[in-house]
A and B are shown apart, each in its own frame.
Chain A
Amino acid sequence: MADSQAYDAPSVVKERQKRARMRRNIFYIALLAVGLVAPFLAYPVFLMKILCFALFACAFNLLLGYAGLLSFGHAAFLATGGYVTGYLLASYPGLTPEMGIIGGTLMATLLGVLFGVLSIRRQGIYFAMVTLALAQLMFFVFVQSSFTGGEDGLHGVPRGDLFGVINLSSNLAMYYFVLAVFIFGFAVIQRTVHSPFGQVLKAIRENEPRAVSLGYNVDAYKLLAFVLSAALAGLAGSTKTVVFQLASLTDAHWHMSGEVILMTLLGGVGTLLGPLMGAGIVVSLQHILAQSPLGNWVSVILGIIFVLCVLSFRSGIVGELDKMYRKNFK
């Protein structure tokens, strides 16, 4: 047989992986540098909005891109994180912002467990429907509850002092904190994707019956992916509340669940940087269009972009760039 020739696969594989890792690290360092100087070039609040939504989209992408599950109810986690953090910080002045954020994230995680247990056995469109229904239920809860301020939402949430030391009322300090939160969330996702768990998740997405026949309890793996995604979406919501000092029903509305799908698909589902790109584009477009005479047409324009994206470049911007890179430089 042909395989008798001297062939040392592991070292070849390792060498290639090492080079790929190095290239990736250089790229991330460059990206980090951009993140560090950005607030001197653009309005920090605008950048923070992008980062919060980017984290939200990254969390969503972990579920859709790496576990193959399309949730249509992720707004519930964003909103839960936001409301709980807002409520904690507004009602307990002694709490520092990071405590509020941890509280909000934990609540979103718990909700993720509940949603996941109820929905994870369903496949495809049924899974999307169950998550949508549950998220609508949460919307109703937020409208009716007193702690959320109902239709008015929560306002005037104090930013406070981070760890009781760093005052966050300056936008620059706030920005660097948000950047750190984003990097943390991004690192968690990056590690999850490249972990033993990530390997099994990939196998399940590639061929679920085969993964079952290898002895994996696929529902348990999907559930963990769902809960991680919910937790990070909650983290995004919590952080956003501290930045804007408010939490409102907009975050809980199903529009928000749709918007995160748009961001992820536009940027590139299943790519690590796609959601960041997608969130950047969508938030910028909303920002620019809101100030132009086309202000009322925001959803129409986003809708057209969405249709174009699905029709002509399905793997999203980062996905297409990645394909081009592979074609021309490998």
Chain B
Amino acid sequence: MRADDVLNGPVLETRGLTKEFRGFTAVDNVNLSVQEGHIHALIGPNGAGKTTFFNLLTKFLPPTRGEIIYRGKPITSKKSNEIAQLGLVRSFQISAVFAHMTALENVRVALQRQLGTSFHFWKSEKTLDHLNERALELLEEVGLREYADTLTVEMPYGRKRALEVATTLALDPTMMLLDEPTQGMGAEDVDRIVALIKRVSKGRTVLMVEHNLSVVSRLCDRITVLARGAVLAEGDYDEVSRNPLVREAYMGSDAAEEEAAV
């Protein structure tokens, strides 16, 4: 936990963030602020620009205009890997694991960066063995200890997503960006991941893209709705789900009743 650098303002803030692709505006003048300790959801219909927005935040895409401020400092001109080094770590929509490495190695490769020996091609990989213990703890935390020795490619899908969380946690991030963490999962896996996110978000800030509204209602402190690249509404779950504009754009007016009841 990073009690020493708690800020009174938002952890992450965007000002007028815009991305244009040859005349098409995917993200349009978005002002977003995420408060310390919140689990903040970004929802919206397909094509609303949620994933593009994530890519802008982590500099996988360069923004056309606007500013990104993280813990009071502008990070708009930083590179993707530098942003990760600052403690702002993202996950991906499609499960992002290192398939032909074991679960343990997946986590360990995240841990090893702090050693500063990652360019040392003359050292034995045995010098990484002392990280195994910490890696196992992290696997334990996400319920994957029994998979430590399994090649990731052989793990079930839901477990791969959990492994991704463990790998992200290895960096001890201040803020986690999760891109649809429950996408493509069965109900049982969804429950497991929800519980996991709830557990690991203690002392951290989370911004997540999520389609599953029941997940959003169970987890999130605050919700921002994007439609056509722009912010449509913001508030807690009740406020947002009552907003007629949101019902119209996101759920379709009839479905809204059903979804809100979940």
Contacts and interface: CB of A to CB of B under 8 A. Distances in A.
Given A9-B104, A13-B149, A199-B125, A1 B143 contact: yes
Interface residues of A, number: 37
List the 3 closest A-B pairs by CB distance, nearest first. Answer: A215-B84, A9-B148, A206-B98
A210 B145 contact: no
Given A192-B121, A210-B92, A215 B98 contact: no
A133 B117 CA distance: 34
A196 interface: yes
B113 A210 contact: no
A5 B146 CA distance: 9
B98 A203 contact: yes
Interface stretch (A47-55, A81-89, A217-225): A217-225
B8 interface: no
13 contacts: A192-B122, A195-B120, A203-B98, A209-B96, A210-B97, A213-B80, A213-B92, A214-B171, A215-B113, A216-B113, A220-B119, A221-B119, A224-B119
A195 B122 contact: yes
Contact of B145 (A9, A13, A199): A9
Interface in B145-163: 145-146, 148-149
Interface of A: 1-3, 5, 7, 9-10, 12-13, 16, 191-192, 194-200, 202-203, 206-207, 209-218, 220-221, 224, 228
Contacts of A196: 112, 115, 117-118, 120, 123, 125, 127-128
B149 A200 contact: no
A212 B79 CA distance: 9
Given A191-B122, A196-B117, A10 B136 contact: yes
B81 A212 contact: yes
A211 B96 CA distance: 9
A217 B136 contact: no
Contacts of B144: 3
Contacts of A218: 81
A314 to B, nearest CB: 16
Contacts of B121: 191-192, 195, 197-198, 224, 228
A217 B101 CA distance: 20
Contacts of B108: 199
A3 B7 CA distance: 38
Contacts of A7: 145-146
A202 B101 contact: yes
A211 to B, nearest CB: 8
Nearest to A194: B125
Contacts of B174: none
A215 B89 CA distance: 8
Contact of A214 (B113, B115, B133): B113
B182 interface: no
Contacts of B91: 213
B14 interface: no
Contacts of A12: 149
Nearest to A220: B119
Nearest to B55: A209
B197 to A, nearest CB: 17
A213 B90 contact: yes
The CB with the most chain B CB atoms within 10 A, among A9, A216, A218, is that of: A9
B46 to A, nearest CB: 21
Contacts of B217: none
B148 A198 contact: no
A176 to B, nearest CB: 25
Contacts of A217: 79, 81
B77 interface: no
Given A196-B120, A196-B123, A200-B112, A216 B104 contact: no
Given A191-B124, A199-B105, A199-B109, 12 more contacts: A195-B120, A195-B121, A195-B123, A196-B128, A203-B109, A210-B97, A212-B80, A212-B81, A213-B81, A215-B82, A215-B89, A215-B113
